[in-house]
Structure 1
Amino acid sequence: MTTTVLLVATRKGAWILRSDAARTSWQADGPHFLGHIINHLVLDPRDRTTLLAAAKTGHLGPTVFRSTDWGRTWQEAAQPPAFAKVPEGETGRAVDHTFWLTPGHSSEPDVWYAGTSPQGLFRSADGGVSWAPFSPINDDPQYREWMGSEKDGTPDGPKLHSIIVDPRDPKHLYFAMSGGGVHESLDRGQTWRVLISGMQVVEGYGFDAANPAFHDPHCLRLCPSNPDRLYQQNHCGIYRLDRPSDTWVRIGRNMPQEVGDIGFPMTVHPRDDRTAWVFPMDGTQVWPRTSPDGKPAVYATRDGGESWQRQDAGLPKQQAWWTVKRQAMGCDGHDPVGLYFGTTSGELWASRDEGGNWECIARHLPEIYAVEALAL
């Protein structure tokens, strides 16, 4: 029987929720790592058994935990992601937390990638036991300039995120930085090129759109059914990129004007590259980062961003002042697709009909940082 699994990472631990293909009732396993910050909890799709958890603990600091028995036991990484040491007398950087975890290509069964705050890119070749800086970007002067100061950027720290491996080619990689733009490698990370053409910057501050430092991608997704199509939720809108073009198109201009196209998360249909979902937030000048007017809704496109439809059946109609973080929205592989998102107020919402109707399947969790959905 098919099992549906949700991996939920929160500000004070992690939970694993399970259901069958009907997705009508859920059983919760957890908390794991109670009291510790878990930024991402990810299953290895290559063995469907190994879990990695990106953790920040009070006594161990930033680290990664590994389980090969679905969380019954955990082992800390022997060498977590850490920046290279600098010569004595020089100022170096320290990893505050590992933010993003991505399994490697199917042809590389023990490879994982990690993105950190402040921005750093790391790789493990032994299933997450040990990590090392990956490619030259961590210490490259140009990239360090684009990354900006560790005191700038997002409210909870600058991040390297959205690490993507092209399923057709392990040498083809993408990542995004908040801030610092979108980047692509065709040679397994030896060299990178910037992909910011068409992306806009915040108006009114004199920012140069040609400078990656002024770009703030929030979430980048590649379509499983068409790896030549990518979607992006950005600080300045929703975009689509169709390769081989290098120019992003702002499809968020087609969102309702009163809602806008600013948000954090995005998820794409596993079998239809024209279908994607976002969760907008209030992007007015004061940046409350809450649902517009306290009326949360998911917005769906089924034509590649030419039009968007509001999906709020079952969601609160008023006085719901939460939002959804960049990793906290996902979908499973069922037909119809199940959609899931977790809120900053600790609620986990699910839809069994691709967003047509919503129900709350868990309440009173800590602030939810990430949701991964799986059909096993």
Structure 2
Amino acid sequence: MTTVALMVSTRKGAWIFQTDSNRAAWKVNGPHFLGHIINHLVLDPRDRTTLLAAASTGHLGPTIFRSTNWGQTWEEAAKPPAFAQAPEGQNGRSVKHTFWLTPAHGNEPDVWYAGTSPQGLFRSADGGRTWAAFSSINDDLKYREWMGSEKDGTPDGPKLHSIIVDPRNPKHLYFGMSGGGVHESLDGGETWRVLISGMDVVEGFGFDATNPMFHDPHCIRLCPSNPDRLYQQNHCGIYRLDRPSDTWVRIGKNMPSEVGDIGFTMTLHPRDDNTAWVFPMDGTQVWPRTSPGGKPAVYATHDGGATWQRRDAGMPKEQAWWTVKRQAMCSDSHDPVGLYFGTTSGELWMSRDEGQYWECIAQHLPEIYAVEAIVL
């Protein structure tokens, strides 16, 4: 019988939830690193054994931990992601935290990518034990200009995220920067090009839409069933990109106007490239970052964003002001697909039927930063 495992990262530690294919009863493994910030906990799908945790600890600072026994023991990286030392007399950068972890292609065992805050791209070739700067973008003057000041960006700092590896080609890579736009490499990181055509910028400030600095992709997803289709949840809407086109299409305009298409997270169907789910939040002028009207809901599309349907059965009907962060929503590969998300108020929610009905499977956790699902 298969097992579904959820890796849950929070502001005060990490937990692993496991269940069988019925997804009815859950066992809890944790907490791990209680009291420490865990931005991302990921199980390597290539060996289904190696766990990497991106941690910010009070005494060690930002680091990576590795386990091969489901968290019974952890090994700290001998060399975690870190920027090169600046020449004397120049201001350097320091990694505040590792934000995103991505296993490399299936034919590159032990290779991982990491994105940091402030924006940096790193690679490990030894299963997460040591890390080095990947490509040249960390110190590229043009990229540094696009990254903006470390004082800018999201409330918890600017970051590089959504590192994506094309399953057909290990040299075809994508990533997003908040801020700094979407970027693509076709040669394994030797060179990169900007992918921001069609993306809107915040109105009323005179921002130049051709400048990546003014673009803030929140979450980018590549369709498992069709790697030529990508979806994006952005500071300025929901988008879809169908390659070989380089122009994003704003499909969020079809969301209900009273809800809008601003949010942080989204997840995709593993077998249907027309189906996606988003969790919109209040993106009005003061950006409360709460569920619109205190009435949380997932919205689903089954036609590539042409139409959207509200999916809130089982959720609170009022006075629920939590929301979902960019890494905190995911899906499994069962049929029907299981959907999962974690909230800023420490609740873990699931749907066994692709969003038709929701139930809370854990509560009173710390603020949830990321949720990853894997079927074993």
Report the AA paired with residue 325 of structure 1: K
Instruction: Say yes or no: does 1:66 pair with 2:66.
Output: yes
Whether the 8 Å contact between 2:54 and 2:99 is mirrored in structure 1 is: yes
Report the AA paired with residue 79 of structure 1: K
Counterpart CA distance in 1 for 2:290 and 2:258 is 14
Counterpart CA distance in 2 for 1:87 and 1:278 is 44
Specify the alignment match of 2:37 in structure 1: 37
Instruction: Say yes or no: does 1:147 pair with 2:147.
Output: yes
Specify the alignment match of 2:9 in structure 1: 9
In the TM superposition, residue 110 of structure 1 has moved relative to its aligned partner by 1.0
Counterpart CA distance in 1 for 2:183 and 2:303 is 26
Deviations 1:283-337 (CA, angstroms, capped at 9, x unpaired): 1101100000000000000000000000000000000001000000000010000
In the TM superposition, residue 70 of structure 1 has moved relative to its aligned partner by 1.2
SS in 2 for 1:108: coil
Q: How does 1:1-376 map to 2 (within 5 A)?
A: 1-376=1-376
SS in 2 for 1:146: helix
SS in 2 for 1:307: coil
Q: Where has structure 1 moved over 4 Å in runs of 4 or more? A: none
Q: Give the TM-score normalised by the residue count of structure 1.
A: 1.00
Deviations 1:32-54 (CA, angstroms, capped at 9, x unpaired): 00000000000101000000000
Counterpart CA distance in 2 for 1:285 and 1:141 is 33
In the TM superposition, residue 375 of structure 1 has moved relative to its aligned partner by 1.2
Counterpart CA distance in 2 for 1:166 and 1:330 is 18
SS in 1 for 2:34: coil
Aligned residues, how many? Answer: 376
Report the AA paired with residue 100 of structure 1: W
Deviations 1:86-108 (CA, angstroms, capped at 9, x unpaired): 12221100000000000000010
Report the AA paired with residue 234 of structure 2: N
Whether the 8 Å contact between 2:45 and 2:374 is mirrored in structure 1 is: no
Q: Give the TM-score normalised by the residue count of structure 2.
A: 1.00
Report the AA paired with residue 174 of structure 1: Y
Counterpart CA distance in 2 for 1:91 and 1:283 is 35
Whether the 8 Å contact between 2:17 and 2:28 is mirrored in structure 1 is: yes
Counterpart CA distance in 2 for 1:26 and 1:278 is 25
Deviations 1:33-81 (CA, angstroms, capped at 9, x unpaired): 0000000000101000000000000000000000011111100000000
Counterpart CA distance in 2 for 1:96 and 1:279 is 27
In the TM superposition, residue 151 of structure 1 has moved relative to its aligned partner by 0.3
Counterpart CA distance in 2 for 1:168 and 1:243 is 14
Report the AA paired with residue 291 of structure 1: S
Deviations 1:337-364 (CA, angstroms, capped at 9, x unpaired): 0000000000000000000000000000
Once the two structures are aligned, what percentage of the paired residues are identical?
A: 83
Report the AA paired with residue 299 of structure 1: Y
Counterpart CA distance in 2 for 1:233 and 1:87 is 38
Counterpart CA distance in 2 for 1:163 and 1:225 is 18
Gaps of 5+ in 1: none
SS in 2 for 1:199: coil
Report the AA paired with residue 131 of structure 1: W
In the TM superposition, residue 254 of structure 1 has moved relative to its aligned partner by 0.4
SS in 2 for 1:142: helix
Deviations 1:146-189 (CA, angstroms, capped at 9, x unpaired): 00000000011000000000000000000000000000000000
Report the AA paired with residue 361 of structure 1: I
Counterpart CA distance in 2 for 1:356 and 1:50 is 33
SS in 2 for 1:203: coil
Counterpart CA distance in 1 for 2:206 and 2:89 is 36
In the TM superposition, residue 27 of structure 1 has moved relative to its aligned partner by 0.9
Counterpart CA distance in 1 for 2:347 and 2:34 is 17
Aligned-residue RMSD, C-alpha: 0.4
Counterpart CA distance in 2 for 1:152 and 1:248 is 25
Counterpart CA distance in 2 for 1:97 and 1:53 is 11
Counterpart CA distance in 1 for 2:72 and 2:222 is 32
Counterpart CA distance in 2 for 1:293 and 1:373 is 29
